[in-house]
């Protein structure tokens, strides 16, 4: 049952984080590097981060069983090519990231959407065993990753969890997707930026301004919180997941954001015994910041893909670990 060491890389627009984990998903090495953009830059960054993480772990890239990558954008479910990752300077033409990195490192590489990687990482790293869980990733956009019965649910076309583009207001703001009033126009970093701009470049954020009593900032935070609360309700009503974990850049502010979302969940319960019975405020939590959840998730997915394909390690317990 020993799959050996596996590396995972979480590639974001500004930084890439690589980990090397053992069979029990213990992190043995962890490295953060600035991301170089474009196809060649992304591959070089990922390869270098894996090499450095291996060094910390006392391993070599060639000694790894597999490498998993979590990356924003559209990931083709079968071949791991990536397109539409604008923050990484990857456009409409699919880039065969998995194959390029595999050539660079000499080990099998699997590629997964970053939100899915976070969902798998959050599921494996949860203190208590969790059967199911949704991660709501709130960054520039809004999307969810879903783990059902312990396995990532990708959907029939790899597009499950696109909850950001569900309209919830017929006269709401136009969304980049061409619809009106999508959840993403209310519950995202870009929605928050549109509703409140820092008056001076003095480090004030919408959160600090709201806390200091700025009414425009408070209204922006409440509207955002109500949008996130709506997305949480939607995930629970559609999937009946037990836990919804908030993740993504906007959650870095931490507890103040969770407080606002919980307050909006409770406010919506007024007059609805149906919502009260769902106890949503108890079911929502924040992804612990600073934990390499996406990188670990990418590593776990790489191990699972490897074992499911049964290519690498004859005689191992393929079924037990496979997704």
Task: Decide whether 27 or 235 has the Cβ nearer to a copy of itself.
Answer: 235
Task: Decide whether 41 or 167 has the Cβ nearer to a copy of itself.
Answer: 167
Q: For residues 242 and 147, is the Cβ–Cβ distance under 8 A?
A: no
Q: Is 13 in the site for a copy of itself (CB under 8 A)?
A: no
Residues within window 261-300 making contact with a copy of itself, judged by CB under 8 A: 268, 271-275
Output the CA torsion sign for 219, 223, 224, 226.
positive
Q: Is 132 in the site for a copy of itself (CB under 8 A)?
A: yes
Q: Is 87 in the site for a copy of itself (CB under 8 A)?
A: no
Question: Rounded to the nearest whole angstrom, what is the least distance from the CB of residue 229 to a copy of itself in the complex?
Answer: 11
Q: What share of the chain is helix, strand, coil (3-state, %, to 5)?
A: 45, 20, 35
Tell me, residue by residue from 169 to 208, as one string, x for binding to a copy of itself by CB under 8 A and - for no binding.
xx------xxx-----------------------------
Task: Choose which of 162, 190, 266, 285 interacts with a copy of itself (CB under 8 A).
Answer: 162
Question: Rounded to the nearest whole angstrom, what is the least distance from the CB of residue 236 to a copy of itself in the complex?
Answer: 8
Q: Which residues contact 142 (CB under 8 A, 6 or more apart)?
A: 136, 163, 164, 183, 184, 187, 188, 231
Q: Is 78 in the site for a copy of itself (CB under 8 A)?
A: no
The position carrying tokens 């065993």 is: 129
Task: Decide whether 66 or 230 has the Cβ nearer to a copy of itself.
Answer: 230
Point out which span in 102-110, 156-164, 209-217, 285-293 binds a copy of itself (CB under 8 A): 156-164
Q: Is 252 in the site for a copy of itself (CB under 8 A)?
A: no
Q: Is 308 in the site for a copy of itself (CB under 8 A)?
A: no
Task: Decide whether 13 or 158 has the Cβ nearer to a copy of itself.
Answer: 158
Q: Which residues contact 261 (CB under 8 A, 6 or more apart)?
A: 225, 228, 229, 232, 246, 284
Task: Choose which of 41, 94, 150, 167 interacts with a copy of itself (CB under 8 A).
Answer: 167
Q: Which residues contact 229 (CB under 8 A, 6 or more apart)?
A: 261, 264, 265, 268, 280
How many Å apart are CA 207 and CA 166, to the nearest integer? 26
Q: Is 129 in the site for a copy of itself (CB under 8 A)?
A: no
Going across the sheet that includes 6-11, the strands are 27-34, 15-21, 6-11, 66-71, 109-113
Is 311 exposed, middle or buried (CB count within 10 Å of its CB: 0-12, 13-18, 19+)? exposed
Question: Rounded to the nearest whole angstrom, what is the least distance from the CB of residue 80 to a copy of itself in the complex?
Answer: 18
Q: For residues 46 and 69, is the Cβ–Cβ distance under 8 A?
A: yes
The position carrying tokens 């317990």 is: 317
Helix (H, G, I), strand (E, B) or coil at 7: strand
| Count of residues interacting with a copy of itself (CB under 8 A) | 40
Residues that bind a copy of itself in the complex, under the rule CB under 8 A: 131-132, 144, 148, 153-163, 165-170, 177-179, 230, 233-235, 237-242, 268, 271-275
């Amino acid at each position: 049952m020993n799959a050996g060491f596996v590396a995972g890389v979480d590639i974001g627009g500004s930084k890439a984080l690589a980990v090397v984990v053992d069979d029990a998903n213990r992190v043995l090495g962890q490295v953060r590097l600035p991301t170089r953009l474009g196809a060649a830059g992304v591959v070089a960054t990922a390869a270098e981060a894996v090499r450095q993480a291996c060094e910390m772990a006392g391993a070599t890239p060639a000694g790894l069983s597999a490498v998993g990558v979590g990356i924003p954008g559209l990931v083709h479910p079968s071949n791991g090519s990536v397109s539409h990752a604008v923050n990484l300077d990857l456009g409409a033409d699919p880039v065969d990231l998995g194959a390029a990195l595999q050539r660079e490192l000499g080990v099998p590489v699997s590629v997964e959407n970053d939100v899915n990687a976070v969902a798998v990482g959050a599921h494996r790293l949860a203190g208590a065993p969790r059967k199911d869980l949704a991660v709501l990733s709130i960054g520039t956009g809004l999307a969810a990753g879903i783990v059902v019965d312990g396995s990532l649910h990708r959907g029939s076309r790899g597009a499950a969890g696109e909850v950001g583009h569900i309209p919830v207001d017929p006269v709401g703001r136009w969304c980049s997707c061409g619809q009106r009033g999508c959840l993403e126009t209310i519950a995202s970093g870009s929605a928050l930026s549109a509703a409140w701009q820092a008056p001076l470049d003095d480090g004030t954020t919408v959160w600090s301004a709201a806390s200091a009593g700025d009414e425009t900032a408070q209204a922006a935070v409440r509207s955002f919180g109500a949008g996130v609360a709506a997305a949480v309700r939607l995930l629970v009503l559609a999937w009946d997941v037990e836990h919804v974990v908030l993740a993504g850049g906007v959650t870095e502010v931490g507890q103040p954001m969770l407080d606002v979302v919980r307050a909006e969940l409770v406010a919506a319960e007024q007059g609805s015994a149906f919502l009260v019975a769902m106890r949503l405020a108890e079911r929502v939590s924040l992804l612990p910041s600073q934990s390499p959840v996406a990188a670990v998730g990418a590593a776990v997915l790489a191990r699972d893909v490897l074992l499911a394909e049964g290519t690498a390690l004859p005689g191992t317990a393929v079924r037990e670990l496979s997704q």
